[in-house]
Structure formats: C-alpha cells, structure tokens
Structure 1
Amino acid sequence: MHLLPAGITIVLTMLTCLLGALAPARRAGRVPAIEALRTTSRSRARLTKWRIALTAMGVITTVVIVVAAMSAPATASSPVTIAFYLGLCLILTIHAAAPGLVPAIMKIWSLLLTVVRWPAPQIARRSAVSRSQISSATIAPLAAGLGFVGVLIGTMNTFQAQVRTVGVTEINVVDSWIIATIATVMLIGCSVAVVALTSRHREREFALLRTAGAAPATLGRIVLLEALLYVATALLLATSVTLATILTLAWLGTRAGLPFAPQFPGLTLAVFAAGAYLATTAAVALPAHKALKANLRASLSPE
C-alpha cells in the first residue's frame, strides 16, 4: 500500500517532464537552420496565445474567488480554504504571465542599481534585463516556489493566531512544512537548471568581459548581483502573493468573530530565499569560473 503513492508520484513526475519538454521541442523544430546556428540569440520573452488565455483565466478565477469570499458563510474552515485557493490562483496566474510580467518588474525595480556608478551593478542589470526570456524562465519557478511556501505557511500561521483566542491549541503543521519544502526545492531546481543550460553562452560572455579588462573581482560581483536580481524579483512576487493571501484570511476571520491577526512568514521566506540565492549563485558562477580558468581563445571560439 505504501508503494502506491510513490508510484503515482513517479508517473506524474514523468508526465510533467514530458509535457514540459513538448512545447520547447515543437518550437525548436520550427526554427530555421540558419537561425539555430547563430552564435547570439535574438529571442525575447513574449506571451504566447496559450499563456494569454491562461492569464485571462487566472484573472477571472481570482475575481470569482474574491466575490465568493465576500458572500461566503462565516464558518471555521471556509476562510482558510478561500484564502489558500486565492494564493494558489495568484501563483499560477503570475507563472502564466511570467514572460511579459517578470522582465517588466525586474527592469523597473532594478533601476535602483543605476544609482551606483560602479561597472558591476550596471553590467549585471543589463545582462539580466537583456536576457529576458531566460530571466523569466529562471524567476517564474523561483517565484512559484517561494510564493507557495509563503501562502501555505502564512495561511497556517494566520489561522493559528486567530483560533488561539477561542482556546484552540497548536495545530500540527508538519505535513504542510514537508509539502512546502519539497515543492519549493523542486522549483528552485528548475530555475538552477535553466541557468545551468546556458553555461556555454555565459562562458563566452564572461570571456568577452575579461578581454574588455574586467578583473576577476568584478566578475565575482557581477555573478553575485545577477543572482540577487533573479531571487529578489522572485521574492518580490512571492511577497505580494503571500500578503494578499494572509490579509484575505485575516479579513475573513473577522467576519467569524476572530481577531484580525495576519502573520507574515518573513523568516521562512528569508530562509528559503537564501537557499535559492546560494543555488542560483552557484549556477551563474560556473561559467564565470570556467571563463577565468580556460584559455580566452578556447572560450571565445564558436564551438
């Protein structure tokens, strides 16, 4: 009996990987040979028809959940259910709109780096913004993972804070922590994989920076700042989703006579974001390290 959940998980994982690889394979098959052989990519992040449809469905579903929340009966369980579904719907909507939403958000908030006139912040920002398709594919899973752990833990903590006033003791949330950890680690792994798959192109990029006179310390700062751009953008999206969820739950709780006690899981998000930052930094640093150790001629060669 214990093997059944494991078997279902393996099958679902395989189907998810196959379905996830189908769309990129179809797009790759349609690329003309001359475009595929270019050493520089001109691709930009864009919303496909399917993503636009999914984003529209997500927005409509979010509105329906909000309307349902206003008219829902003030029972003990419905506020938690409604708030949790609202958070999941926001996560999925952001993920669907990621190719258009993520680059715009990163480009706007990263303007703070333009205040610093050092070369490393400017190069890191330009690199992340110009590679919008890869950036969105990197940030979207990070935002989904951090958003999921924020929604799940924030919902549990807020509900616990509310029901303590009516004499309910601590609720067992071990299962929630296990689910949140596994899901977040898997999504962080997806982001790291996206960064790692571009290592050859990035090795050439860092080699070009070396020929332009960038010192190893400058390359190190670029790596740290670029990874920070990815994780900070994901954390910004996750924070907005988490706040919307816990504030909705706290407001719904007041209708049932419970106190308004939103509990933002700041420390939890910070710990998971720190782990994501370390993993993303390692993935970005790999081609930089190769560019520093390898011969410049070999790194700059097209093959």
Structure 2
Amino acid sequence: MIRLALAELRIDVRLWIGPLLVASVASAFVYLAAVYWWTLGTPSGAALIESFGSTVDEARAGSYVVYVSTAIPAIAVLGSTSAATIAAFATRIARWRLAGATPRQVRAVVTVQVLIVNTIGTLLGIAIALPLRQAAVDLLVRMVTRGDYTIPADNSLAPALVALAGSTLVCYLASFAPACRAARIPAVHAVRDSVEASKTMPVSRWIVAGILVFVLIQQVIVTVFATQTLGADSGVESAAATLALTLGVMMIATIGALAPVLVPALIRLWTAIVPSRFVPSWFIARHSAIEHPRQASTAVMPISIGIALYGILFGIIATWQNALRAAGLGGELNTIDTYVMLTPAAVIAVTGSVASILLTTRARTRQYALIRTAGAPPRTIVSIALAEAVSYSITAIGLGLAVAYASVLTAAGLLTATGLPATPLIDFRQMLLLAGIGIIAVLASLLVPALVAIRGNPRDTVALS
C-alpha cells in the first residue's frame, strides 16, 4: 500500500499542491504557538509572567487561542481540499478497483497519501516559521502583559515535534471522510468521463443546512428579545457584543452550508448587469462559474468567510469603542487578542481558496486551449481569466460585507439598548487588506492556466487527460 501511495503521488504531484499548502500554513501557526508555550516555561519567561501577578498556565492561554483558531479552519479547509483532490483523480481510484483493490485498501492508500503530503507540508511550514519565532513570542507576550517585553524564544526540538503531531492529527481527522468516500468510488467510473455529478447539494447537506437555518432563526429571535431585556447593568455591553458575534457566526455557517446553491445564484444575478453579447469573455467566464457550482463555491467561500470574520470582530470593536467615547467613558478595547485569533483563520481561508482553484488548473488549461483552437486571440483568453477572477472576488466581498454589516448593525442596536449611544461602524481597513490579498491570490491562480494555454501548442494541451 505504501509503495502504491508513493507511486501515485509521483505521477501527478500537482493534484496535492492544495493540501500541501494548507498543511504548511496550519503547521507554521501550530509551531509558533508551541514555541510560545515552551518559552514561557523557561526561567526568564516564568519570571516575567509572575512579575505581573499572573501564572505561566494563565499566560499560556494565548497558545490555546492559536491552536483552536488554527485547528478548526484547518480541518474544514483541509477536508474540502482533500475531498476535491480525491475527486480529481477518481478515475485513477476506480482503476485500482478494477485491478482488484478492496475498499479498505483504497481507503488505506488515500490516507497514507494524505499523511505523506501532510508530513512534507509540516516540515515546510516549520522551516517557514523558524525566522518568525521571536516576533510571534513578542506578540503573544504583549497580549498578556499589555507592554513591550521580550523573552528569548525557545530553540528546542519539542515545539517542532508538537507541530508534527498536531498537524498529523488534524490531517487525519480532515481526511477521514474523503478517504471513506474514495473507497466507495465504483470501478465503472474508470470507463466513463468524470463530470460534476450534480448542480445541487446532496441530501445530507440539505439536512445540515436546514438545521442551521432553524438555529439561525432561533438566534435571531433571541437577539430581538434581548433588545427589550438588556438594561444598563455593569458588564452587559459584553453580553450584547457576544450576541451580535454569535449571530454573525451563525450566518456564516448557514451561508457556508448553502454555498453550492447560493454562490452560483448570486453570480448569475449580479453578473447579468453586463450584456454578454457585448463582452464574449465575460459570457464564457460567467457560464463557467455558474455551471460549476462546487468549483465556484470553494473558490468564493473561504475568502468570504475571512472577510466576514474580520468585518464582524473589528466592526463590533469599533462600534463599541465609539459608543464608549460618545458616552464619555475612557479606556481602549484590546485588539491584539482579535488579531491573534483571526490571523490563522484568515490565512488558512485564503490558502484554501487558492488551493481549490489550483486543483482545476489542468481542466482550465484544457478549456482555454479549446477556446484558442476555436479562434480566440490570446487577449481573449486572458480576459476570460480576469473576468472569472472578478466574478469570484466581487461575490466574496459582497457576501462578506453583507454578513459583517448585519452583525455590526445588530451590535449597535444591542449596545443602544444597554444605554450606550452606538452607531454601526465597519472597519474597512482590515477587510480590504484581506480582500486584496485574496483577490491577488485568486487572480494569480486563474492566470497561470491561461498563460500556459497561450504559450503551449493548443493541440497538445487539448490532448491532456
């Protein structure tokens, strides 16, 4: 099984670039959190923390924040990229079945492949994080002490081993379901073309989406009633912010569950403003996004979720801070905790979006080559890639902004109910920074197959299997 897994990995390394990127990014954050954990255990670290009247265990809470904010999105994104990767070579898996491989053997081979890629990605992530150890420790120490203090970062091997073990566990949990689905791929798949099976969601996803919609409605009811019950008691502002944050997170979860249906519908709706007959490249890009709902949703949702999370948290903080100033109350709300919690999730989300697009590089290159053989000039091929990137980016930004504003508007209403003069404020700086990074990454991922199709021989490119 190990020999087969290694052989198949060598055949087409490009299919595993997505999971490799996600594993690298996730392991880098886990390694930095582990370095901070071990640094606090050194004599100098313990002495500094205790001088502030705290304990090492309390200070290590920053590591837990990084672990959780890394593991949860990593499992989700790694699971989706692993599933997409497995779907991309479903025909090859079906050939294993034709050759006599049992479902258990298929599941074992896929699991071994994912773990091998994860190990390579983890080592790469640790190598990337090595120069950032001291900066990460300083940031997390500042989060605890609220001052500029430096503790020499730990240089032992233990954090690397923790990162490898943690990344392997996350990878196994994320790949368990895709490996089981791979084991159920029928052998007949090897003798027919692989197409996107359905433009709708499976029944199981509809059930999950229905449950989330029900929970979201309950959360809306609770939030509406809270505006009538919140008083001017001390500390009630924190409860108001928590309610608004919970509502925003529930909206994100519900939209994520409905993404394969919702995202193509939104793209179809707003892209209709550009007459297709006047811009052929826009028509082709629009058709490609609409006709491949799974592909469109996996490209749009990670960036949209990152934008929404940044908008919700920083918007609530900005709204709360402005309300405190308007009421004549001093004090600055801490934002370092927010950065520490959101940065891993945002980076993993953008990486997941890029990874999902990279999985379709071969299919896109072949599609562009077909369009080129039909007589389209190179500038049209590039225009199609640009138009598709624009459609994904605007949809992601629109969804993220809508969820963020709804949550911040709720926060303003709840804070007003507590007696604070609150008005909804959106911190566009954080959102636009993340949106810009996501757009550049998506654009670069889409331009690569377009440039390959332009430079190569279209007949050879079309012949790609």
Distance 1:212 1:161, change over 3 A: same
Question: Which residue number in structure 2 is paired with residue 22 of structure 1?
Answer: 176
Question: Which residue number in structure 2 is paired with residue 229 of structure 1?
Answer: 391
- In the TM superposition, what are the counterparts of 1:55-134 in structure 2 within 5 Å? 55-69=209-223, 70-71=225-226, 72-74=229-231, 75-114=236-275, 117-134=278-295
Question: Which residue number in structure 1 is paired with residue 367 of structure 2?
Answer: 205
SS in 2 for 1:90: helix
Deviation at 1:302, TM superposition (A): 3.7
**Among 262, 271, 284, the residue aligned to 2:446:** 284
Deviation at 1:34, TM superposition (A): 4.2
- In the TM superposition, what are the counterparts of 1:123-202 in structure 2 within 5 Å? 123-166=284-327, 167-202=329-364
1:253 matched to 2:415? The reply is yes
Contact 2:381–2:454, Cα closer than 8 Å, also in 1: no
Distance 1:207 1:235, change over 3 A: same
Distance 1:173 1:22, change over 3 A: same
Distance 1:42 1:115, change over 3 A: closer
Deviation at 1:68, TM superposition (A): 2.2
Aligned equivalents of 2:175 and 2:268: distance in 1?
28
**Among 191, 197, 205, the residue aligned to 1:51:** 205
Aligned equivalents of 2:429 and 2:277: distance in 1?
28
Distance 1:12 1:88, change over 3 A: farther
1:218 matched to 2:380? The reply is yes
User: Deviation digits for residues 60-104 of structure 1, max 9, x if unmatched?
Assistant: 222222222223533221110100111111111111111121111
Contact 1:203–1:288, Cα closer than 8 Å, also in 2: yes
Contact 2:276–2:283, Cα closer than 8 Å, also in 1: no
Deviation at 1:188, TM superposition (A): 0.9
> What amino acid is the match of 2:256?
H
Aligned equivalents of 1:17 and 1:240: distance in 2?
32
Larger radius of gyration, structure 1 or 2? 2
Unaligned runs of 5+ in 2: 1-35, 39-59, 72-162
Aligned equivalents of 1:206 and 1:115: distance in 2?
18
Contact 1:137–1:194, Cα closer than 8 Å, also in 2: yes
SS in 2 for 1:76: helix
Distance 1:233 1:80, change over 3 A: same
Matched residue count: 303
Aligned equivalents of 2:387 and 2:440: distance in 1?
12
Question: Which residue number in structure 1 is paired with residue 456 of structure 2?
Answer: 294
SS in 1 for 2:272: helix
SS in 2 for 1:184: helix
Deviation at 1:38, TM superposition (A): 4.5
Aligned equivalents of 1:265 and 1:176: distance in 2?
13
Distance 1:97 1:295, change over 3 A: same
TM-score normalized with structure 1 length: 0.91
Aligned equivalents of 1:122 and 1:213: distance in 2?
16
Query: What is the root-mean-square deviation in Å for CA atoms of aligned residues?
Result: 2.3
Aligned equivalents of 1:218 and 1:245: distance in 2?
41
User: Deviation digits for residues 19-75 of structure 1, max 9, x if unmatched?
Assistant: 433333333443334435545624334322332232222222222222222235332
Deviation at 1:12, TM superposition (A): 5.8
Greater RCO structure (CA 8 Å; 6+ sep): 1
Deviation at 1:282, TM superposition (A): 0.9
Aligned equivalents of 1:14 and 1:237: distance in 2?
33
User: Deviation digits for residues 200-247 of structure 1, max 9, x if unmatched?
Assistant: 111100111111122221111111110111121111111111111011
Aligned equivalents of 1:191 and 1:17: distance in 2?
18
Aligned equivalents of 1:116 and 1:175: distance in 2?
50
Distance 1:24 1:99, change over 3 A: farther
Contact 1:44–1:131, Cα closer than 8 Å, also in 2: no
248-257 vs 139-148, which deviates more?
Answer: 139-148
Distance 1:216 1:94, change over 3 A: same
Distance 1:109 1:21, change over 3 A: farther
Contact 1:195–1:283, Cα closer than 8 Å, also in 2: yes
